[in-house]
Amino acid sequence: MQKQIGYDVLAEDTITALLHNNRKLLEKHITAAEIDTFVSLVRKNREPRFLDYLSDLCVSMNKSIPVTQELICNAVLDPTNGDILIETKLVLSRFEIEEASIGENSVESEEDEEEVWLFWKDSSKEIRSKSIRELAQDAKEGAKEDQEVVSYYRYQLNLFARMCLDRQYLAINKISGQLDVDLILRCMSDEDLPYDLRASFCRMMLHMHVDRDPQEQVTPVKYARLWSEIPSEIAIDE
């Protein structure tokens, strides 16, 4: 069945449905060859459903599968496959601000502010860029191309979150440099972005920045005491 992937006979849907929540089958039958095939389909079709297939292969019963995660990390994050991903950057943008009017004339000033921008390659291999707010607004107004970019980016974030699940440092170390805490917080709290995109950023924050690094055991404060353990007298020097 793996050999039928990419021939529009629903082999991808069948394989992911069969392997979903079946850890043994996933570990046995998904190899680097299958992952490379899915990556080539992403490049060929630019459809988010293929990113979703890769996301499904990362987990079983809400638990990560490190072997498959590693295969997907090595393929998706390989520099030679960078053209299938949308890059996220903080860019210094200049805004015009209208200040209090003086007489009949209003005074305008310019102010610099960091803004989240997305960079991607279109079907003609041309580099395109747009602020994430502008993309979301144009998508909301019905611009088909912007809707496709926002959808693709959301599925990419979901894939990244699955790749980082359960402290997969191979993915965390490579992705966290681009999607740092400040950038993700900006997008999580931005009410101009669609709720499902903000939810994807929340998952990224959880699996990449919160649930990471071995955490130290903390002894909780004991607020309850046995009456017999409380001394009847106590001196100041004690």
CA dist 208 to 153, 177, 178, 213, Å?
17, 11, 12, 10
- Mean pLDDT to the nearest integer, 106-123: 81
Q: What are the pLDDT digits (tens) for 48-67?
A: 999 998 999 999 888 999 99
Q: What are the pLDDT digits (tens) for 155-198?
A: 999 999 999 999 999 999 999 999 999 999 999 999 999 999 99
CA angle 116, 44, 51 (to 5 degrees): 55
- In angstroms, the first-to-last Cα distance of the chain is 76
Q: In the chain, which ranges are E strands?
A: 59-60, 63-64, 87-102, 105-121, 127-131
CA angle 42, 160, 194 (to 5 degrees): 90
Q: What are the pLDDT digits (tens) for 217-230?
A: 778 888 887 888 88
Question: Bigger pLDDT: 84 or 15?
Answer: 84
* Tokens 């611009």, located at residue: 143
List the domain boundaries for the chain. 1-79, 85-215
Q: What DSSP designation does 194 have?
A: -
Q: Report pTM.
A: 0.80
Q: How far apart are CA 53 and CA 17, in angstroms?
A: 9
Q: How far apart are CA 180 and CA 204, in angstroms?
A: 10
Length of the chain: 238
